[in-house]
Structure 1
Amino acid sequence: MEEGIVETPEELLVKQHRKEKKDLQAKIQSMKNAVPKNDKKRRKQLTEEIAKLEADLSQKHEEEFRQLKSTADTKVKEMINGVETMKVEGGEQEGVKQVRVTKAQKRRDKKAAQEKERESRIAEAEVQNLQGERHLEGLRLAQKLAQQQLQIKEISSDGHCMYRAIEDQLAQRSNPGLKMNMKELRSRTADHMRSHADDFLPFLTNPNTGDMYTTDEFEKYCNDVEHTAAWGGQLELRALTQVLRLPVEVIQADSPTIKIGEEYDSEPITLVYMHHAYGLGEHYNSVERLKDQSNTEDS
Structure 2
Amino acid sequence: MADAPETLDALQARHRKEQRDLVSRITQKKKQASKKTRKGVNDECERLERELKERQARELVLHNGDTPDEAPALSEEEHEAYEGNAGQVNEAAKAVEALSIASATPEQPAPEQNGSRKKPNRAKARLARRAAEQDALVAQAKEEAANMPDLREQERTRMEQHFGKYGVEVKEIRPDGHCLYAAVADQMETRGLGLKPRIQVKIQEGEKLPDYKRVRYAAADLIESNPDDFVGFMEEPLGVYLQKIRETGEWGGHMELMALAKSYGVKINVLHSDGRVDKIEPGADVQDKDAKEIWLGYYRHSHGLGEHYNSLRKVS
Q: What's the TM-score once normalised by structure 2's chain length?
A: 0.46
Larger radius of gyration: 2
- Greater helix proportion: 1
Q: What's the TM-score once normalised by structure 1's chain length?
A: 0.49
